[in-house]
Amino acid sequence: MTAAAQAIVRIGESPRTPVSIALLLLLPITLVDAVGFLAPIAYLLRMSFNEATGGGGLRETFTGQSYVAFLTDPFYLGLVGNSVAMSLLITGLTLLASYPIALFIYRAPAHWKSVLTIVCISPLLVSAVVRTYGWMLILGDQGLINATLRGLGIVSQPLRLINNATGVVIGLTEILMPYMILALLAGFGRLDRSYEEAAQSLGAPPFTTFRRVIVPLTVPGVALGCLLCFVLAISSFITPKLLGGGRVFLLATEIYDQAIVILNWPLAATMSIIVLMVFGLALVVYGRIVRALD
């Protein structure tokens, strides 16, 4: 027996060792997360209690001033409402656009399934910035849509599809679709053709079968996809910035402005913490849904 093999046998003899091996294997990612994720969040939390002095100055202290400022200002509260509402809208539209595609892919023959999945997630190979610029070309006053509509004589004035909420919603919906499709496909595991056939044989027309059997069986995928897209939508920054043209005010863009333009880091940190709390709330809702299914 070699020394290594003996060592393995010795490790195997101790009842505690499997746990220590697991801890050992978890150590690298724990360290990376601690340094790269937990520490910055702790720093952010600390920053949100600092005091901003005029002109971008910063004073180390411990004050709830930024929170008070945020929670008493109707503009900021409106931002939260706006961001949540718009993210919910985008999530809903992404779901509507992705569900039929995901269902189609799920039902496709095995050899088509992987091809179609790759086609659907291929937009992820292009950065969101580039895709956003693409949408600016399509949605702009001189863009593809307006040029076509005017060419056909359907409208005389260009439709305002950009530099407003419409543009942000359209752009983000498309950008988030690959994530939604992937999440739906992952959550469709319980779906089986025989359930639909059973429903039909029991007298359920196609739409009733969809409503009573297919939809309930796909709720896990829908919940997962919606959580993912909601979080991505509310934290997205580049797309609202570019397609909103500075006229759409959301938490993410406001954080950027506060941190980079106005240099009020405590307020920016406060808003970041608020966004984190919204995420936490979304997670709680998701957890409730998943538990209700079991």
The answer to whether residues 68 and 199 touch, using CB atoms and an 8 Å cutoff, is no
Least spacing, CB of residue 220 vs another protein, in Å? 10
Reduced to 3 states (helix: H, G, I; strand: E, B; else coil), residue 250 is: coil
192 part of the interface to another protein, by CB under 8 A: yes
The answer to whether residues 44 and 268 touch, using CB atoms and an 8 Å cutoff, is no
Gyration radius from the chain CA atoms: 25
Among 201, 261, 291, 292, binds another protein (CB under 8 A): 201
194 part of the interface to another protein, by CB under 8 A: yes
| Length reported for the chain | 294
- C-alpha distances (whole Å) from 262 to each of 54, 198, 207 are 10, 62, 54
Applying CB under 8 A, which part among 37-45, 58-66, 103-111, 204-212 lies near another protein?
204-212
Q: Which amino acid makes up residue 198?
A: A
Element containing residue 59 per DSSP (H, E):
strand 57-59
Identify which of residues 213 and 278 has a Cβ nearer to another protein in the complex: 213
203 part of the interface to another protein, by CB under 8 A: yes
User: 255: which 2 tokens?
Assistant: 């954080």
The answer to whether residues 145 and 159 touch, using CB atoms and an 8 Å cutoff, is yes
204 part of the interface to another protein, by CB under 8 A: yes
109 part of the interface to another protein, by CB under 8 A: no
200 part of the interface to another protein, by CB under 8 A: yes
262 part of the interface to another protein, by CB under 8 A: no
205 part of the interface to another protein, by CB under 8 A: yes
Q: From the CB of residue 87, how many other CB atoms can be counted at a distance below 10 Å?
A: 26
The answer to whether residues 271 and 129 touch, using CB atoms and an 8 Å cutoff, is no
Identify which of residues 219 and 259 has a Cβ nearer to another protein in the complex: 219
Residue 33: half-sphere exposure toward Cβ, Cα within 13 Å? 5
Rounded CA separation 16/243 (Å) = 56
Binding mask 206-225 for another protein (x = CB under 8 A): x-xx--xx--xx--------
Binding mask 147-186 for another protein (x = CB under 8 A): ----------------------------------------
290 part of the interface to another protein, by CB under 8 A: no
DSSP 143: S
User: 94: which 2 tokens?
Assistant: 């992404």
Among 195, 210, 256, 286, binds another protein (CB under 8 A): 195
Applying CB under 8 A, which part among 51-59, 94-102, 144-152, 189-197 lies near another protein?
189-197
Residue bearing tokens 């991505």 = 232
Identify which of residues 172 and 213 has a Cβ nearer to another protein in the complex: 213
Least spacing, CB of residue 208 vs another protein, in Å? 7
276 part of the interface to another protein, by CB under 8 A: no
Q: Which residues form the interface with another protein (CB under 8 A)?
A: 190, 192, 194-195, 197-206, 208-209, 212-213, 216-217, 293
